[in-house]
Amino acid sequence: MSLEPLTLTDILIATVPLMLIFATLFAFTTWLERKALARIQNRIGPNKVGIPCTRIGLFGLGQPAADGIKMIFKEDIVPRGADRLFHLLAPILALIPAMLVLCFLPLNFPWIKNIQGLVKPFMLDGAVIFFFAITGLNTLAVFMAGWASRNKYSLLGGIRAVAQMVSYEIPLVLSAVIVVMMVGSLNAAEIVKEQADEYWFILSPWGFTAFVIFFIAALAETNRSPFDLPEAESEIIAGYFTEYSGFKFALFFLGEYIAMFAISGLAVTLFLGGGDGPGVTMNPEDQGLATEAFPGLSAVWFLAKIFALIAVMIWLRGTLPRLRVDQLMGFAWKFMLPLSILNILVAGFAWHAEQLDNTIITVITWVISFAVLYGAASGLNQLNRGKVRPREYKYAE
Amino acid sequence: MNEVVAFWILSVIAVFGALVAVRKRNLIHGVFALLVFFAGLSGLFLLLLAEFIAAVQVLVYIGAVGILLLFAIMLTERVTGDDDRRVTSRGWFWGLVVTAAVFVVLLLPAIQQLPPPKAAQTIDPSVKELGHKLMNPYVVTLEVLALLLTAALIGAVTAAQGVRMPKEEDSPE
């Protein structure tokens, strides 16, 4: 592999639109989430802010801009005992990894295709492993924020976040391993091409199991409800960002949503066929490039799939109550981990069966693997059910 | 040209991180400085086109070792992390000598063939190649390492379970 020298312009063309697009999508998603949650709770949601100085409401679409202006002009308060440097660095560190991993997603933007040399750095051989490595840095930012605030609730939130993220990273990575095994490559573009040639991995029994595990672990990894224990407002105020206000808080908020986009993007890449869809055909020789009905169609498909996943996340947030800490840990270690290890074994056998290239054997393998996985999931459920005890109150009653 | 600039930037970051990690009395600051050093090192690996090693550097050292260090500090009593004094020791001169000696010994093979030879062929380190190597000639080593790590994991769990913490109700308060 050799990298052709890129000029500064090429790099800017590749990175700046990525940041702008996802920042805009962030603004839209906050509006969408508030609207959807409001409808779930039988409210209307933001509907006032539209075009300034007029009565035109535009369904409250101006709300993100108003929020942004408010955030910028709010006072930035640093607690007296806080570690000022780390208090400043933590929100920045929360945003950088989330932004950085966006470039590993195989998004076929039309302007990237015009520059051949530019495709190379994005099509890293180890894109998937890089993705997990850099997403893991988010944990440090959360811990840093909790520690630097010099507030016991912040610290509790930080410690909770670290424990939760470390636990859920294991099923997250193990379920991605299955896709890597089936494709035989860590390259995101090759994974997408394989799915365009064969089938989307979510359609196979092991792929579906892996996708469900991946999605649940992704919820926990991005601190989304029902796994939002690090910021549980009924217990520890706001968790690790209790002491943050103004623009620093906005940075945390932005980082959280960008991380949501990024991890949904990885789920789309691994299980939902990436930019594949009607009107798009993947070229066999140029990896990562596709022939489209019109330029940018593949990127549109990709973003649409991301938004479908985001919509599910919002829906879950509106419907599910928050987990308890022991339930959270038990779920990761006693249910998701054994199931994902078993899933790897099943996928290994299925891969060998597919190599035989015999339709009957493939069908039998699919049926057997579905039965095994379903049995394992319900068995684990039964095993764990008896062990969940009602909560013992130590300081209340 | 670009590579040279990138190399110097990353080197300065790495050396700065390492120095701060050693000099800071505040343990949490020290750990984060160490992580900066690891990140700089990972960037240097990336510059050598060893992208898998770079990713593993981030994944293992920053992701796992860093978190482990932070947990160890949090769980240790009487380490509050606010001590801002600098570390000074009387033996710094001999320490410097030993450091220099170790540095020279490590560089000895390179020094012996001093005008550095031109690279005979371009190295092409790819993830695929690495995977084949791990699965074919080094598979026994890999398995033994995996066994060792599993044993360590089970041992750690056993050790952690062996110590029963006294219950809160039993304490004299």
Determine how β-strand A290-292 pairs with β-strand A280-282: antiparallel
Here the ipTM equals: 0.77
User: Where does the pLDDT of residue A194 fall: very low under 50, low under 70, confident under 90, or very high at 90 and above?
Assistant: confident
Q: Is the pLDDT of residue B148 over 90?
A: yes
Measured between beta carbons, the chain A residues lying within 8 angstroms of B81 are: 147
Tell whether B62 is within 8 A of chain A (Cβ): yes
Residue A180 CB-half CA count within 13 A: 18
- Give percent above pLDDT 70 in chain A: 89
Measured between beta carbons, the chain B residues lying within 8 angstroms of A185 are: 127-128
Q: Is the pLDDT of residue A380 over 50?
A: yes
- The whole-number pLDDT of residue B55 equals 85
User: Where does the pLDDT of residue A311 fall: very low under 50, low under 70, confident under 90, or very high at 90 and above?
Assistant: very high
- The whole-number pLDDT of residue B12 equals 92
Higher pLDDT pick, A234 / A165: A165
How confident is the model over A94-105, as a mean pLDDT? 86
- Please choose, from the candidates A261, A294, A255, A292, the residue with its C-alpha nearest in 3D space to the C-alpha of residue A277: A292
The neighbouring-strand residues paired with A291 are A281
- The whole-number pLDDT of residue A211 equals 92
Measured between beta carbons, the chain A residues lying within 8 angstroms of B70 are: 140, 143, 162
Three-class HEC string of B112-159: HCCCCCCCCCCCCCCHHHHHHHHHCCCHHHHHHHHHHHHHHHHHHHHH
Tell whether B18 is within 8 A of chain A (Cβ): no
Higher pLDDT pick, B117 / A104: A104
Residue corresponding to tokens 């000029």: A7
pLDDT digits (tens, 9 = 90+) for A204-232: 888 888 999 999 999 988 888 788 877 77
